[in-house]
Amino acid sequence: MNKNILLKNLGVKDYKETWDYQTDLLQEIVDVKISNRKNSEFTETKNHFLFVEHPHVYTLGKSGDLDNLLLNEKQLKEKGATFYKINRGGDITYHGPGQIVGYPILDLENFFTDIHKYLRLLEEVIILTLADYGLKAERSKGETGVWLGVGTPFARKICAMGIRTSRWVTMHGFALNVNANLGYFDNIIPCGIRGKAVASMEAELGKKIPIEEVQEKIIQHFTSLFEIDKVISTN
């Protein structure tokens, strides 16, 4: 089993371009797995981890409700935002500047074959990262992602998650609001959940947080929780 990850920071990149890139990486891994089953020779599969910031964009998961987007096509253009219906789980969410989006493209057969465990560990990566900044983040029962103020009237989501898997290979991932403009969430019903707010690290801590610093902490916790052997930067 290959428990190394190839880490790449894409910087600011268009959502559709990044989606296509993820799809290509996933397909490469799937092709290797299919070949391994057909042939006597075995080739190790790769594991990737992409960091990216997207220009303003709304994405709707395959089981999502389009009514949760509160803008029409003209209003989207006025906001400088785009919209995509995509192939991950979950409902609608927003991506934009000041947000850390992480896309692990892993062959889970290198780690464990348990989607529930995968999502819980991704949540734990973010929970531990936020704890490094003195923020008490938690899971909210029945709602994938990471929250603040769970069990209070002020529950607010700080990190959304949605994934897709094919032959135990993952794509899509998480979006952590670091210095994001939370006003863009007013144009959707985030994750299809009414009556709950969103949060950012900047809003909670009262100051901007260096994106690169948070990315480093995410990778440290990811490496520990997923028992990664080696992180190889490909930038």
Q: Tell me the DSSP string of 161-181.
A: EEEEEETTEEEEEEEEESS--
Compute the C-alpha angle 93/26/49, nearest 5°: 65
Active-site pick, 158, 180, 191, 201: 191
- Which among 169, 167, 173, 168 is positioned nearest to 222, based on CA atoms? 173
Q: Which two tokens stand for residue 103?
A: 């896309």
Cα-based torsion angle of the residue sequence 7, 59, 27, 176 in order, rounded to the nearest 10 degrees? 20
Judging by DSSP bridges, how do beta strands 197-198 and 92-95 pair with one another? unpaired
Is residue 11 packed enough to be buried (19+ CB in 10 Å), middle (13-18) or exposed (0-12)? Answer: exposed
Residue written as token pair 């560990």: 121
Q: Are 81 and 54 in contact (CB under 8 A)?
A: no
Question: What is the rounded distance in angstroms from the CA atom of residue 141 to the CA atom of residue 130?
Answer: 19
Question: What is the rounded distance in angstroms from the CA atom of residue 224 to the CA atom of residue 212?
Answer: 19
191 catalytic residue (yes or no): yes
Residues that are catalytic: 191
